[in-house]
Amino acid sequence: MAAEFSVDEARERLVELLDRAESGEEIVITRFGAPSVWLQPAQPRSSGGFAAGVIAAAWVAPVAGDAFDVGTDYWPDSSA
Closest CA to 35 of 55, 60, 5: 5
Answer whether residue 50 shows pLDDT above 60. Answer: no
Q: What is the pLDDT of residues 3-43, one digit of tens each?
A: 999 999 999 999 999 999 999 899 999 999 999 999 988 87
pLDDT given for residue 7 in this prediction: 94
Q: Domain 3-39: give its CATH superfamily.
A: YefM-like domain (3.40.1620.10)
Domain residue spans of the chain:
3-39
Torsions phi, psi for 50 (to 5 deg): -65, -45
How high is the pLDDT of residue 54?
52
List Cβ neighbours of 32 (8 Å cut-off, separation of 6 or more).
none
Strand pairing report for 27-31 and 34-39: antiparallel
Are residues 6 and 27 in contact, defined by beta-carbon separation less than 8 angstroms?
A: no
The span from the CA of 20 to the CA of 8, in Å, is 17
Residue 57 reports pLDDT greater than 70: no
What is residue 79's predicted lDDT score, i.e. its pLDDT? 61
